Each structure stands twice: as C-alpha cells, then as structure tokens.
Chain A
C-alpha cells in the first residue's frame, strides 16, 4: 500500500455537547480505496467535512498532505452527499463541472480546464448532456455530473459521500471500474451502504459509529463487522453476495 496522505489522531467532534466523532485515529493511504460504512448518524459525512476543513475538530490533530485541511484541500475532489441548489440556476452541465477546475482569483479557466471537463463528462457518460441546464436532469444524472465535478480537479484524494445512492446498476459497475482506474493516481474514500461493493472493490474498510470500530484490510473487517460492531446488521445481510457473510 502507498504512503500515508491523511492522518487523524485522537480526533473528537462534538455537536451540542454530544459526541459525533470520538477518539478517531485513521490514516488514508495513497493508491488505496478506503470504504467507510456505518449507520445513519454514525459520523461518516462529518468525518469527510473534517478532512475538508469545513468542520473544526474540538480535539485532536489532523494533517492533510502534511498540511492543515484548509491548505491541503486543494488536492481533494469532493462529492457531497447532498447538494442543495436552485434548480432554475442559470448554469449548464459543462459550466457546473468547470467550477471543479477553479484555481484562484483572477485565474480564468484555460483550454486544458475545458478539455478536462469534456473528459470528466465522458467518464461519467454525461457528455451528451453538456449543454443541458443543470436543473433539468434526473437525480442519477445529476449525481453523475457532481461526480464529474469532483474528479475533474485531478485530485490526489477523492472523497465520495454515497456516490452510488441514485445510480442505476449498469452505471454502478462502470462507476466502480472507474474508481479502480482512478486508484492508480490517487486515494479514494468511499462512503457507502453497499457492502456488496465494499467486498469487491475496496482495499480497506473503516466501520464508523461515532467511534471507529474497525479500520484495516477488508478481509478481516467484513468478518468482524457483524459480531464486533454496532454497524447495522440488516445492511450487511441484505442482498449481499454470500462470500461476504462467509465465516458467520
């Protein structure tokens, strides 16, 4: 496995005096897909937001590419769980993805930026929609556009918060194949409830329910999830390939 690019040490986040993340020690490694699973409210989104510097931890240390999250986040591509926006907003698909290439004040988007957008849209099979107004897409199409917006930066770390939630099965397998390709160039953090995918595509898993109950290679993790942790058990036994449940 690659070298460590993000490290969290003894990290705590409280909301209104209740622990949302407690005692988190985690490292994210280069060229690795880390799957994060855990129940609703388990702190998965919060963890990504801490890495991005959108939430300041109350205690503990975090380094992103050896820097603070605010400095390190320029190497990160991010797909939020939800994006709330005005559906009549005057932007088309191409322009939305182009925003992912933002480089700083007074820096206009270049030819390479525009070429990268075309590429990213091809990757998520949304090129034919590039001139479509952003509000006039289906939920899954929109999700694919936001995936394109995250990868178009050519980041060194890609944070994906439930990327496949509204994606159809055919597109899903294409999506996971894409992740395997991207892994050659970056680290990927994948929040998902899709344990089937975790068992196939992910290198490491982290099981998060306010605390980090497991973090390590998936092989051991999958066997331990059910017995050890308060990760939702129904989630694991629904529609999941048998080999995942092997050993129980």
Chain B
C-alpha cells in the first residue's frame, strides 16, 4: 500500500488531498454534527455547483470560483434565516436549488461536455493538481486558525445561542463566521468526494468519534484521524479494484459507521 502511494505522483497528490480533507472532516465535521446543521452542510455544496459552472464559463479553475460561491451561499442561507425569519431548512432548500440551477445554466452556456462534470459531482481525488492542493491547504489553514482563535465563541453559540448573546459573545458574527468556515470546508471536500457526497465526509467521521468521547477537542482529533484513515482506505480500495474513488470513500465511511455502531452497543 505504501509503495503504491510513493510510486505514482497522482497517488501522492491524492494522499495529500485525503489528509487535507480529513482535517476538514475533523474540525468542520465536528461543528456540523454537534450543532446539528447536517442539512446545511448538504445544501452548501449543492449550491456551490453554481460556482463550478461559473469556473467553466470563465475558463478558470472551477475550485477557485467555487470558493466565493460557497461562502456566498452560506451567508445567504444565514441572512434569509436571521433577517427574513424564515426557517433555516427552508432557506437551505431555496439556496440549494437556486445554486444548482445557476450551475446548470452556466455549464450550458460554456458548452462543457457532461463527462467533465462527473468529477465535481462525485469526486475525483486521483486527478487533483498541485494548484488545487495548494488551495485546499490554504483553506485548511484558514479553518484551523479561525477555530484556534474563536473556539470558545463557536462552542457557546453552538450550545445555547441566546445565552451566548447574554454573556457578550457577538453571536451573529460568530454564526456567520462558522457558516463561512463550513463553506470553505465544503470546497476542500468537493475535490475528494464531489458535491453530492460531501455530506458523508462532514458527518460520518464526527459521528463515529462521538461514540468515543464527549470532549470537543478529542472529538476533533479522533474525527480528523478517522477522516484521514477512512479516506485513504477508500482511495486505496478504489485503485485496487478500479472503482470510482469518491463513491468508494463514501462506502468505506458508511461501512465504518455501521461497524462502529454495532461495536459500541
């Protein structure tokens, strides 16, 4: 297994991508799971499809256009929820569909062959380029620094938003910052497993880890470890049996989830 990863450059890149994705799983996934915003973390990647389409239309790396699109959709969901007093899940539904619709229009205008899109929809970790890896690294660093600086605020807001306001946490700003970080995390994961499967990476490692600890720091470490390990196993199996990488990773996550659910009974 180790030789395989050392031998080919694309496998080396895929390995680095898996580690970067695992860090996102661990940190962002933990917040998604404890704040119960799973639907949100499914909606943002779908809305981000608009950004992918825009990249094709403009002829630039779609991951680059995905970043502002993802962040913007997350903020829009937050704003609709807070300002228009609409339920968060309704807001997510709206942004989800509109983002995808934009993507379809952009891609139609750019005459992109459908086959190119499969990688973004279902992930293609084995074709990650150096430039994309670099972007993933930068996003992970932004996430890590923000969480290091604001973990106290995120925790209070996630636990009890009203009380956080009372004790002086700028809860609205923190809510939006957290949404923004989730959006960045989503972009990191898109290349690994694709828009449709991001939700698995954001939820499964953190959910498995919860069975082992109720300490948030440990939760983040275990989730990161689980995310990296399971992604690499999926990557390896997909190479071995010549299967679609994104789907294989998700299946490995799913199987791990089932196993741990039974083990912890």
Contact = CB atoms under 8 A, between A and B. Distances in A.
A14 interface: no
A102 B165 CA distance: 11
Contacts of A76: 166
B203 to A, nearest CB: 14
Contacts of B36: 86
Interface stretch (B62-70, B207-215, B254-262): B207-215
Nearest to B30: A90
Contacts of A90: 34, 210, 213-216, 219
Contacts of B237: none
Interface stretch (B15-23, B95-103, B153-161): B153-161
Nearest to B35: A86
A153 B167 contact: yes
Give the interface size class of chain A. Answer: 20 to 34
Contacts of B169: 102
Interface in B148-194: 149-150, 152-153, 155-156, 158-160, 162-170
B38 to A, nearest CB: 12
Contact of A102 (B152, B158, B215, B219): B152
Interface in A84-126: 85-86, 88-92, 96, 99-100, 102-106, 108-109
A156 to B, nearest CB: 14
Nearest to B218: A90
A54 B170 CA distance: 13
A80 B162 contact: yes
A73 B159 contact: no
A86 B34 contact: yes
Contacts of A105: 149-150, 153, 170
B199 to A, nearest CB: 19
Contacts of B219: 90
B216 to A, nearest CB: 5
Contacts of B163: 78, 80, 83, 99, 149
Contacts of B34: 86, 89-90
A91 B154 CA distance: 13
A74 interface: yes
Interface of A: 52, 54, 73-74, 76, 78, 80, 83, 85-86, 88-92, 96, 99-100, 102-106, 108-109, 133, 149, 153
19 contacts: A73-B168, A76-B166, A78-B166, A83-B160, A86-B34, A88-B210, A89-B158, A89-B159, A90-B214, A91-B216, A92-B215, A99-B155, A99-B163, A99-B167, A102-B167, A105-B149, A105-B170, A106-B149, A149-B163
